[in-house]
Structure 1
Amino acid sequence: MPTSPSDNVNAATNSTAVAASACDPLTLAYVALGAGRALDARKRTGCQTAAGELDFISDVITHAPLLDAMAADRDFHAVFVYEVAEPFGEQLADHLLDGNEATDEFVNTLATTLISAASDL
């Protein structure tokens, strides 16, 4: 039994190593929803992405399979897509909109933090 969310991705250290087919469609949808919310909030202030909206959302949702891999075999006291997937998409999008890169370290730390907060240890 894993002791932390990151234990579930022993073979995969980043989201690109996790097969997209392993991603729950609701996880993918709620990550996109969170990213869209962050993008909409920034648009109201005049902020634009360097890439187009489709490319930006695509960049964010490529990390959704990692969430499912890290959350596998965990019990949650909250609804996963509401408390983990959507905030993950929003916070990752904000991070990118601030001009930062989605490094493996940042993505893994964000996912671990959200999963730990919403799961029963």
Structure 2
Amino acid sequence: MEFFAKAACHLTPETLQQRLSGPELAAWCPSIDRVLWWDGEQGDIYCLWGQFRVRRECIRDGLRFTLPGCPNALAWTLTCEPADSANPGVLVHCTINRSEHEPDFIESIELFVDDWRSGLERQG
């Protein structure tokens, strides 16, 4: 399943990649309660689904985060649209490896994606 949101902000890929390091995750997304530890490009977070290992990866025009131990293989990307595009901002794209799921879990993912949208808008 896929989930999308568009943050109305003016972050560049470089700014996003520099400012959004692992230790800063909780400051950017209210669904992430705290970062328990971080080393390099991975660490453990406590979020609305519990404790998970998270990995951070710089990608073209943004960042990708994965939860490798998640039973649903949850991952999300934050991709900056060019500032001169007709609709600048940051696209939040979240996926899980299931085509169907319980309605309450789907609702929690929608909340997670919306929390990223609002967090990006506050930061940028």
TM-score by length of 1: 0.28
* More helix, by proportion: 1
| Higher RCO (Cα < 8 Å, 6 or more apart) | 1
Structure 2 length normalisation: TM-score?
0.28
